[in-house]
Amino acid sequence: MKDVVGFIGLGNMGLPMAGRLIDAGYSLRVYNRTAAKAEALRARGATVVSRPADVAEPGAMVVSMLADDAAVERVVSGDDGVLQRLGAGGIHLSMSTIAPATAGRLAEQHHRTGAVYLAAPVFGRPEAAEAGKLWIILAGPAAAKNRVQEVLAVLGQGNFDFGENPERANVVKLAGNFMIASAMEAMAEAFTLAEKHGVGREEVAQMFGQTLFPCPVYQNYGKAIAEYRHQPAGFKMSLGLKDLDLVLATAAAGTVPMPLASLLYNRFMTGVAKQRGDIDWSGIALSVSEDAGMA
């Protein structure tokens, strides 16, 4: 019989991740702000609780997968927060995409209670979460990292250890989202150039996905950008803006000028200003085409 694991956050990513842990034999205590989403897991044997603190047991492990910095801080602190119960020897495996500075602050708070904060943001869409094919970026104290290996093996296809400082995992995660967005902008401009010269967008997307860029980011976003298919949103434009804002804030903290990140930031801002905050972030391609007179 495996350990009891607490799990917080049952959104598009968290729900399939929690499901995999149940299938792998873990006893799960789950919490979600919108309680209804937990019912499917109750049917599969999870214990559903009504306060974040109640997923924790002294010295045990809690996994969280939430939308943003504020959500993570909410479930950690306060009278209902997991830090009320986690205590010495407890581990919080924090898998959300948040600011490095927030991760640093949270690690400090955990440390004061004897618990350990592990930063473990992931790359992968909901399908990858479902299949246990996430890539996991890990940082925090070594002993705790050893203790979570089994859980990570259930959730991901590999994890990368970036040392003891949890902020670093979040820096790397933001760097990755920035690189994906850069690839989207490059494709949008390249395909528009091609189209204006009589070459079909889809034809060129397909060719590059087989030749220079045979990797899912180019293949999948390339197809979406070629077809202007930005709904339903896998990852919203408004979240793209939030992430680029985090990238620039992190860059500022390190005094790093990132002109390409600034360009992308303005693209996402334009998308949100044009009422496209809820479509997929690949929708920045629409502005590229509009600026070329293709309304």
Active site positions, annotated: 173
What is the spatial distance between Cα 48 and Cα 197, in angstroms, rounded to a whole number? 58
Q: Listing from the earlier edge strand, what are the strands of the sheet with 134-138?
A: 122-123, 134-138, 156-161
Tell whether residue 272 is a contact of a second copy (CB under 8 A): yes
Residue in 80, 197, 91, 193 with CA at minimum distance from that of residue 147: 91
Interaction with a second copy in 81-120: which residues (CB under 8 A)? 100
Tell whether residue 45 is a contact of a second copy (CB under 8 A): no
Report how far apart, in Å, the C-alpha atoms of 179 and of each of 12, 111, 185, 258 are.
22, 32, 10, 12
Interaction with a second copy in 172-191: which residues (CB under 8 A)? 172, 174-176, 178-180, 182-183, 185-187, 189-191
Binding mask 46-65 for a second copy (x = CB under 8 A): --------------------
What is the spatial distance between Cα 274 and Cα 165, in angstroms, rounded to a whole number? 39
Tell whether residue 123 is a contact of a second copy (CB under 8 A): yes
- 30-38, 86-94, 110-118, 215-223 -> range binding a second copy (CB under 8 A): 215-223
Interaction with a second copy in 2-41: which residues (CB under 8 A)? none
Q: Name residues whose C-beta falls within 8 Å of residue 131's C-beta, 6 or more positions apart in sequence.
A: none
Q: Which two tokens stand for residue 54?
A: 């109640």
Binding mask 126-155 for a second copy (x = CB under 8 A): ---------x-x------------------
Tell whether residue 167 is a contact of a second copy (CB under 8 A): yes
